[in-house]
Protein backbone atom coordinates (compact mmCIF):
# COMPACT_ATOMS: atom_id res chain seq x y z
CA UNK A 1 0.00 0.00 0.00
CA UNK A 2 1.44 3.33 -1.08
CA UNK A 3 -0.59 6.16 0.46
CA UNK A 4 -0.05 9.71 -0.68
CA UNK A 5 -1.91 12.81 0.42
CA UNK A 6 -4.81 13.95 -1.70
CA UNK A 7 -2.91 17.14 -2.49
CA UNK A 8 0.09 15.13 -3.77
CA UNK A 9 -2.29 13.02 -5.88
CA UNK A 10 -3.85 16.20 -7.29
CA UNK A 11 -0.42 17.57 -8.25
CA UNK A 12 0.64 14.29 -9.90
CA UNK A 13 -2.64 13.71 -11.72
CA UNK A 14 -3.36 17.15 -13.18
CA UNK A 15 -1.09 19.41 -15.17
CA UNK A 16 -1.75 23.03 -15.93
CA UNK A 17 -4.85 24.34 -14.21
CA UNK A 18 -5.60 21.97 -11.32
CA UNK A 19 -8.94 21.55 -9.58
CA UNK A 20 -9.10 22.92 -6.07
CA UNK A 21 -8.27 20.69 -3.14
CA UNK A 22 -11.87 21.09 -1.97
CA UNK A 23 -13.16 19.72 -5.28
CA UNK A 24 -10.84 16.73 -4.94
CA UNK A 25 -12.06 16.15 -1.39
CA UNK A 26 -15.64 16.16 -2.63
CA UNK A 27 -14.76 13.69 -5.41
CA UNK A 28 -13.08 11.43 -2.87
CA UNK A 29 -16.08 11.59 -0.54
CA UNK A 30 -18.43 10.75 -3.42
CA UNK A 31 -16.29 7.75 -4.41
CA UNK A 32 -14.96 9.14 -7.68
CA UNK A 33 -11.29 8.68 -6.78
CA UNK A 34 -10.34 4.99 -6.56
CA UNK A 35 -8.32 4.16 -3.47
CA UNK A 36 -9.21 7.40 -1.65
CA UNK A 37 -9.73 7.07 2.08
CA UNK A 38 -10.19 9.49 4.90
CA UNK A 39 -8.13 9.29 8.07
CA UNK A 40 -9.39 11.80 10.57
CA UNK A 41 -9.79 15.04 8.69
CA UNK A 42 -7.21 14.20 6.01
CA UNK A 43 -7.67 12.37 2.72
CA UNK A 44 -5.16 9.95 1.23
CA UNK A 45 -5.05 7.99 -2.02
CA UNK A 46 -3.67 4.46 -2.30
CA UNK A 47 -1.65 4.73 -5.50
CA UNK A 48 -1.71 0.97 -6.10
CA UNK A 49 -5.52 0.84 -6.17
CA UNK A 50 -5.77 4.05 -8.18
CA UNK A 51 -3.38 2.70 -10.84
CA UNK A 52 -5.28 -0.59 -11.12
CA UNK A 53 -8.60 1.13 -11.77
CA UNK A 54 -9.01 1.32 -15.52
CA UNK A 55 -11.67 4.00 -15.64
CA UNK A 56 -14.43 1.60 -14.64
CA UNK A 57 -16.30 3.03 -11.66
CA UNK A 58 -17.60 -0.37 -10.52
CA UNK A 59 -14.10 -1.84 -10.50
CA UNK A 60 -12.83 1.21 -8.63
CA UNK A 61 -15.49 0.82 -5.91
CA UNK A 62 -14.69 -2.89 -5.46
CA UNK A 63 -10.95 -2.26 -5.27
CA UNK A 64 -11.43 0.59 -2.80
CA UNK A 65 -13.30 -1.92 -0.65
Q: Is the pLDDT of residue 62 over 70?
A: no
Cα–Cα distance between 56 and 1 in angstroms, integer? 21
35-60 pLDDT tens trace: 899 999 999 999 888 777 666 666 65
| pTM recorded for the entire structure | 0.76
Query: What pLDDT is attached to residue 47?
Result: 86
Query: What pLDDT is attached to residue 60?
Result: 59
| Residue 34 burial (C-beta neighbours within 10 Å; 0-12, 13-18, 19+) | buried
10 Å Cβ neighbour count for 65?
A: 8
Cα–Cα distance between 13 and 8 in angstroms, integer? 9
Alpha helix segments (H runs only) across 1-65: 6-13, 21-29, 47-52, 57-64
50: containing domain? 3-64
4 compared with 62, residue with greater pLDDT = 4
Count of domains observed in the chain: 1
Amino acid sequence: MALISLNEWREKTFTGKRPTLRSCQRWAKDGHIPGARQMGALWFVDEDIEKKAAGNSRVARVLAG
